[in-house]
Amino acid sequence: MRALRTQVRKNGARRWRMSVLSFSSAPPHGGELKNLMVDDAEERSRIVGGASTKVELNDRQSCDVELLINGGFSPLDGPMNEDVYNHVVDNMRLPESNLLFGLPVVFDTNDESVKPGDSVLMSYQGKDIAVLEVEDKYVPNKPKEVLECYRTSSLEHPGVQMVAMERGKYYLGGKIRGLDIPDRVFPCKSPAEVRDMLPSKDGKDVVAFQCRNPVHRAHYELFMRALDAPNVNKEGSVVLVHPTCGPTQADDIPGEVRYDTYEVLKEQLNDDTVQWAYLPYSMHMAGPREAIQHMMIRKNYGCTHFIIGRDMAGSKSCLSGEDFYGPYDAQDFAKEHAEELGIKTVPSLNLVYTAEHDYITADKAEELGVKPVKLSGTEFRRRLRAGEDIPEWFAFKSVVDVLRKAQG
């Protein structure tokens, strides 16, 4: 059961409305789900007309702004001011409430003219998305930010490159007023909409599976077996496959192509225990702290459990190829904070394929004395490009067909 409440706040001569949803089952982070969308036409016209400047959002910013508007980043109601930013960087917590928060949510700019008190109209691909009431403008300590959040300041890390080389000189903090959501090839339901389709509203378990690549057979086996985890009540439970479709690493498959692979697989599986939704989130590859961010977001979307894979949100050096995080760093960090965060972890099984027993755990294969059959990612991509056969124990044919079509 949920209750809708509208709050009215004043900011100088401006008034704005913010809706929050409260849930008795699977509560969001901080207890209330924010909805920053302005529905009243007169109020929308007023805040757009009062904007002092206009900016075009880049792809990463559009994801952050959408998750602020729809409550995916609850309890935030805008990009962080300097005090909140510093507290999250240093402590992985919001000040005052002391709530866990994995990574800072910021809005960057190089515009020297923007100042506190300004209203910034944000557009994306020519469409007005939101207005930011600027309360703070500051120069962040980027070396400290990346060292604390990514555990490295090396430019060999893609997240560090993004902060150091893509983000602007200044960060702006303030309140967001939502006008619309970005037009995307992959339609992204809001947390409230996803919650409406999940059984967690009735007290049932929902296990979230996060991915940023096409779903292959091993992924499928992994998330289906997660429903059998000892801390999951299987009665009425479902898996939510919730891929991130925003910007990732430069060599990842484009979001539009990934979306097509998910849609064909959803149609092929046609399984009520597997629900699908898409997340407008920009990956940081921040390892352990990003695991906390993902768990917090999925909690806002109504999930009760989260599958933590090996080397989740991990990254390799662009020069040496060495890993920045250990294979279980994210799992261990997530388990350490799961109880306080209010979402349970389901560690991913180490599954292997065998000709004799299909997919089983690596320990079971060793016990039975059977040899796992392997196909490397490099070999998979080579076969994909060459049009050679790809075994269905490795990848679904429907997914392979989409990937080959995208290659032209």
Q: Which of 249, 246, 325 lies closest to 288, judged by CA?
A: 325
Q: Output the six-digit token pair for 280.
A: 């407008």
Q: What does the alpha-carbon distance between residue 101 and residue 109 come to, in Å, rounded to a whole number?
A: 23
CA 121 to chain centre: 24
Q: What does the alpha-carbon distance between residue 51 and residue 388 come to, in Å, rounded to a whole number?
A: 56
Higher pLDDT, 185 or 164: 164
Higher pLDDT, 123 or 254: 123
The verdict on pTM exceeding 0.75 is yes
Q: Which of 244, 245, 228, 232 lies closest to 199, judged by CA?
A: 232
Residue 84 clears pLDDT 50, i.e. is over it: yes
**pLDDT-based confidence at residue 310 (cuts at 50, 70, 90):** confident
**pLDDT-based confidence at residue 348 (cuts at 50, 70, 90):** confident
The CA-based angle 246-153-296, given to 5 degrees, is 45
Residue 4 clears pLDDT 50, i.e. is over it: no
The CATH homologous superfamily for domain 191-406 is HUPs (3.40.50.620)
What is the reported pLDDT for 252? Answer: 73
Q: Are 301 and 208 a contacting pair, CB within 8 Å?
A: yes
CA 155 to chain centre: 23
What is the reported pLDDT for 6? Answer: 45
Q: Output the six-digit token pair for 180.
A: 């619309």
Residues 240-286 pLDDT 10s: 999 998 876 666 788 788 999 999 999 999 999 999 999 999 999 99
DSSP string, 236-249: T-EEEE--B-S---
Q: What is the DSSP letter of 323?
A: B
Q: What does the alpha-carbon distance between residue 262 and residue 243 come to, in Å, rounded to a whole number?
A: 9
378 vs 383, 385, 404, CA distance in Å?
Answer: 9, 11, 15
Residue 12 clears pLDDT 70, i.e. is over it: no
The CATH homologous superfamily for domain 2-178 is Sulfate adenylyltransferase (3.10.400.10)
Q: What is the DSSP letter of 31?
A: S
- Domain boundary assignment for the chain: 2-178, 191-406
What is the reported pLDDT for 253? Answer: 82
Q: How far apart are the first and last CA of the chain?
A: 49
Q: Which of 329, 314, 321 lies closest to 156, judged by CA?
A: 321
Q: How crowded is the C-beta side of 19, counted as CA atoms within 13 Å?
A: 13
Residue 355 clears pLDDT 60, i.e. is over it: yes
Q: What does the alpha-carbon distance between residue 104 and residue 119 come to, in Å, rounded to a whole number?
A: 22
- Asked, as a colleague might, if the bond just before 79 is cis with ω within 30 of 0, I would say no
Q: Are 334 and 345 a contacting pair, CB within 8 Å?
A: yes
**pLDDT-based confidence at residue 7 (cuts at 50, 70, 90):** very low
Residues 175-203 pLDDT 10s: 999 999 999 988 999 999 999 999 999 99
